[in-house]
């Protein structure tokens, strides 16, 4: 009998797991046969979220040159896959015939075509994609589908892979094989299981349309927003990436057009099929725009942060004491270096400050940052030219009416768009880019309880929120589109502390800090994704109910994250023991692993690739042991 490994989920992390099986199978099983059963109701590779039939206007939040699913020379995984695979951009270059080591040709896209029409085909986008562009989700889906086939073509002859189009609804472990209960009533037995289940949210396909209508949070292409009628008022809760996707689908997705003005701003030409959108959130503003690049991104100078992480104690790390001052120093150095280049009249006066901000053999402390800020106050007379990142969290000045707020928000977004267009030549964006670039490094000190519980909850989590706000979520073109939609009256921003409640046959939205901050609508859309992890219902909720899984606890605080062990991402059971048969990757364990929520970044020794490699190695070890019995 061959060994059997089940992979639950067949998109980004399922594809990575399959590649690690390809690289590791012979090491653990020699010439023994192994049957890999991939369970996912959707097409392997692209899966649900990245499927190729979605509009090309929906884009990723990462760049073509900084997205991959393959190991590379920087990866510290065992037995790196050979041959290595391309990044999204390298794959597109190969499609165009520009890549020396060709991975694919345009003919390989033939099987990716589908019956639905999309405005920009994968082929056309691949022809023009640049390394600093944001690929469409459809293009990334095509890349994932190609990657899946590429991995299968290079699979050792002892490995058989089959796709089972179903959902896993329960998992049972015991003395014998692991049993997986399927949504179609079937059952599957496996020696080991690797979970790659992602966010785990999917809207019920039997969607009502009666008013007032609530549209639950999910990927916008699956929310059923076609139920929104032209001209009706829609209240949107959330101003993150899902908000921008939703707006795109009900504006340009319904025939509207963005055209460029002579000054580079955008103008929106309505189709008449748009609804009226009133949106808000706790802050009342979208996060800051990402940088506009015209060349591949240059790695940030994080010398102080890297040194602080290397010098941090093995246990009981205090983020504010051991790590944050180094982050602040790197960000200030980036800011004032950009300011000196931007304002030549200040350059010579800034040199003493830049000298102080150079990393030294001694890790910086809060007192060092305070002294640097005092020196900056002497070097830079204008307070508006100094680095003040805390002002980005709650920037709203005193305003009392909705119209005053809208005018202020428009100016705020316009200023941010102008800064983002300058890239890292803008001092504020340069400083924020240093913070943002450091996030993938922080798992080294924050994962698996290395930070003290108090530090994790009161220092580290707020820092991540701050960086998310200040470092940018929407690409710049989305902010420019939003400004055009505000001009056209298609979208309005209501204000901070946005709340919605039902009142009879409609919803009422309020921003309590504004005297007239109230409006009504017939549709409420939740434009955000719930926190990843264990939610009631679904597979992970079922596993938690049975005791095979549990939520991760920080001190006395229980998070929504799925608890896994550090060695191989084995599920931590209710009794505290780690499973040696069921392993989980990525998104559901975000609070445990920290910042493994995005696809691997090439040439960074990605933690996403390392955790997948460790889980697959453990799964193959168990499979080999069971075959040997």
pLDDT tens sequence across 6-18: 999 999 999 999 9
CA distance 145 to 12: 10
pLDDT of residue 206: 63
- Residue 162: its H or E element: strand 159-164
The 8-class DSSP code of residue 390 comes to G
Structure confidence by residue, pLDDT tens digits, 401-425: 999 999 999 999 999 999 999 999 9
Would you say the CATH fold of 215-286+475-526 matches that of 3-201+532-628? yes
Q: Is the pLDDT assigned to residue 282 strictly greater than 70?
A: yes
The pLDDT of residue 118: 41
Domain 215-286+475-526 is classified in which CATH homologous superfamily?
A: FAD/NAD(P)-binding domain (3.50.50.60)
CA–CA separation, 480 and 232 (whole Å): 24
Per-residue 3-state assignment (H helix, E strand, C coil) for 340-359: HHHCHHHHHHHHHHHHHCCC
CA 362 to centroid of chain Cα atoms: 34
237 Rama class: left (phi>0) / alpha (psi -120 to 50) / beta: beta
98 has a pLDDT exceeding 90: no
Beta bridge partners of 241: none
Supply the pLDDT for residue 107. Answer: 63
pLDDT of residue 396: 81
> Does 208 have pLDDT greater than 90?
no
Residues β-bridged to residue 163? 38
User: What pLDDT score does 81 carry?
Assistant: 61
Q: Who has greater pLDDT, 111 or 300?
A: 300
Which residue's entry shows tokens 């075509």? 113
Burial of 621 (0-12, 13-18, 19+ CB in 10 A): middle
User: 52-90 pLDDT, tens per residue?
Assistant: 888 889 999 999 999 999 998 888 887 766 667 899 999
At 293 the pLDDT is 86
Domain range summary for the chain, segments of one domain joined by +: 3-201+532-628, 215-286+475-526, 303-395+415-451
Q: Which residue blocks in 102-259 are alpha helix, DSSP H?
A: 122-128, 137-153, 241-250
Strand-by-strand arrangement of the 159-164 sheet: 159-164, 34-39, 3-8, 192-195, 578-584, 570-572
Per residue, what are the HEC states of 184-197?
Answer: CCCEEEECEEEECC
What integer is the mean pLDDT of 484-504?
A: 96
In this prediction, residues 527-548 reach a mean pLDDT of: 89
In this prediction the pTM is 0.94
- Spatial CA neighbour of 334 closest among 431, 403, 231, 416: 431
Task: Tell me the pLDDT of the chain averaged across its residues.
Answer: 92
H helix or E strand, kind and range, residue 7 = strand 3-8
CATH superfamily of 3-201+532-628: FAD/NAD(P)-binding domain (3.50.50.60)
């Amino acid at each position: 009998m061959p060994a059997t490994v089940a992979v639950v989920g067949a998109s980004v992390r399922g594809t990575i797991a399959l590649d690690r099986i390809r690289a590791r199978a012979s090491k653990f099983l020699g010439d023994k046969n192994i049957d890999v059963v991939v369970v996912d109701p959707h097409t392997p590779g692209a899966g649900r979220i990245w499927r190729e039939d979605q509009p090309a206007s929906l884009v990723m939040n990462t760049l073509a040159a900084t997205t991959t699913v393959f190991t590379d020379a920087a990866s510290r995984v065992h037995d790196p896959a050979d041959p290595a695979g391309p990044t999204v951009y390298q794959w597109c270059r190969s499609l165009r015939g520009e890549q020396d080591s060709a991975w694919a040709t345009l003919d390989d896209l033939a099987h990716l075509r589908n019956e639905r029409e999309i405005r920009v085909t994968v082929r056309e986008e691949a022809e023009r994609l640049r390394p600093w562009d944001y690929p469409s989700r459809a293009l990334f889906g095509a890349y994932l589908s190609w990657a899946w086939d590429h991995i299968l073509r290079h699979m050792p002859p002892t490995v058989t892979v089959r796709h089972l189009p179903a959902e896993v609804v329960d998992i049972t472990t015991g003395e014998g094989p692991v049993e997986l209960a399927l949504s179609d009533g079937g059952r599957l037995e496996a020696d080991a299981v690797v979970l790659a289940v992602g966010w785990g949210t999917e809207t019920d396909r039997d969607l009502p349309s009666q008013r007032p209508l609530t549209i639950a949070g999910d990927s916008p292409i699956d929310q059923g927003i076609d139920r929104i009628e032209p001209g009706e008022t829609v209240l949107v809760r959330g101003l993150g990436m899902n908000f921008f996707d939703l707006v795109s689908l009900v504006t340009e997705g319904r025939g509207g057009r963005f055209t460029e003005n002579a000054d580079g701003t955008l103008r929106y030409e309505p189709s008449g099929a748009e609804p009226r959108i009133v949106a808000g959130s706790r802050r009342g503003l979208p996060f800051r725009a990402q940088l506009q690049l015209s060349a591949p991104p240059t790695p940030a100078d994080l010398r102080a942060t890297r040194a602080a992480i290397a010098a941090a104690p093995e246990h009981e790390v205090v983020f504010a004491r051991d790590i944050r001052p180094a982050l602040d120093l790197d960000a200030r150095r980036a800011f004032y270096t950009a300011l000196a280049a931007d304002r030549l009249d200040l350059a010579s006066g800034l040199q003493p400050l830049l000298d102080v901000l150079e990393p030294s053999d001694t890790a910086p402390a809060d007192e060092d940052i305070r002294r640097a800020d005092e020196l900056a106050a002497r070097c830079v007379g204008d307070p508006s030219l100094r680095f003040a990142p805390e002002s980005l969290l709650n920037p709203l000045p005193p305003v009392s009416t909705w119209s005053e707020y809208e005018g202020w928000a428009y100016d705020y977004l316009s200023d941010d768009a102008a800064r983002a267009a300058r890239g890292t030549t803008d001092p504020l964006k340069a400083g924020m880019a240093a913070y943002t670039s450091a996030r993938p490094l922080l798992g080294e000190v924050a994962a698996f309880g290395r930070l003290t519980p108090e530090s994790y909850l009161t220092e580290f989590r707020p820092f991540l929120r701050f960086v998310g706000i200040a470092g940018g979520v929407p690409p710049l073109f989305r902010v420019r589109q939003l400004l055009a939609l505000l001009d056209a009256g298609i979208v309005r921003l209501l204000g901070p502390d946005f709340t919605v409640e039902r009142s009879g046959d409609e919803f009422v939205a309020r921003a309590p800090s504004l005297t007239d901050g109230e409006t009504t609508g017939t549709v409420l859309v939740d434009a955000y994704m719930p926190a990843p992890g264990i939610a009631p219902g679904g597979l992970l909720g079922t596993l938690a109910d049975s005791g095979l899984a549990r939520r991760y606890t920080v001190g006395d605080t229980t998070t929504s994250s799925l608890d896994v062990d550090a060695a191989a991402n084995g599920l931590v059971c209710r009794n505290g023991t780690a499973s040696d048969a069921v392993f989980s990757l990525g998104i559901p364990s975000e609070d445990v692993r920290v910042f493994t929520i995005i696809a691997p970044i090439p040439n960074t020794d990605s933690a996403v690739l390392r955790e997948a490699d460790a889980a697959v190695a453990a799964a193959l070890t168990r499979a080999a042991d069971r075959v040997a019995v």
